[in-house]
Amino acid sequence: MAARGAGLYTVRLEHGHLGHAGQSHVNKHDTVFLKKFSLIIAFLGVLTVSLILFARYLNHLLPHEMTPQAKAQLDARIAPVGSVFAGKIGVAEQVASAEAMKAAAAANVAYGGTLDGKVIYDNLCTSCHTSGTGGAPKLDAGGIGARVAQQGLEELIKKATEGFTGTAGVMPARGGNPAITDEQMQKTVEWMVEQSK
């Protein structure tokens, strides 16, 4: 073995200086040994590569836990669909709640807060004042017209807003709808007076 080792050393040396010295130093033993040794090395090399490939193959068969990078990429890929959808729902909810709040606020003020006396009259006051039900003064010279002539507009507005019981009947405060604002009452009575000339 030592001799062969020395022989190998020689061969390597000789190969290192090819051209200077020929193959003459390589004896027959060395040649046989070299062939076998090379075969074994080659076999081991092939075996090594095969084992590496087999290991890789096995590794691929195993279920993999996602790397943080892969997870981030996946999240990024599905995020736009998810977040845009959620965003739209959020916006829709905000708009809906804002709308609901507006509606609730308007509901607290009668008839959407309109200052159109005719609208309020047609919705509420007409039930008594158009027909004269329960002694309500009608919208004519003898009715509201006569009252404004006697008491003046301000007094009519005040009494209609506060409500009163007169000789003719009961005028409920704000026509019976407490949600009507002072300003709305004023506009409505003004409109009624305007119709009673």
Please give the residue ranges that form the binding site for ligand HEC (CB under 6 A): 120, 124-125, 127-129, 134-137, 147, 151, 155-156, 159-160, 166-172, 174-176, 180, 188-189, 192
State which residue, 33 or 111, has the beta carbon closest to ligand HEC: 111
State which residue, 8 or 169, has the beta carbon closest to ligand HEC: 169
Q: How far is the CB of 140 from ligand HEC (least distance, A)?
A: 13
CA distance 188 to 129: 12
State which residue, 11 or 188, has the beta carbon closest to ligand HEC: 188
How many Cα atoms sit within 13 Å of 76 on the Cβ side? 6
Q: How far is the CB of 81 from ligand HEC (least distance, A)?
A: 55
CA distance 24 to 40: 25
Q: How far is the CB of 104 from ligand HEC (least distance, A)?
A: 22
> Which pair of tokens denotes residue 195?
């119709």
Name the residue number minimizing CB distance to ligand HEC.
166
Q: How far is the CB of 105 from ligand HEC (least distance, A)?
A: 21
CA distance 99 to 123: 24
Sequence-ordered alpha helix ranges (H) in 17-162: 28-61, 68-108, 117-120, 126-129, 144-151, 153-162
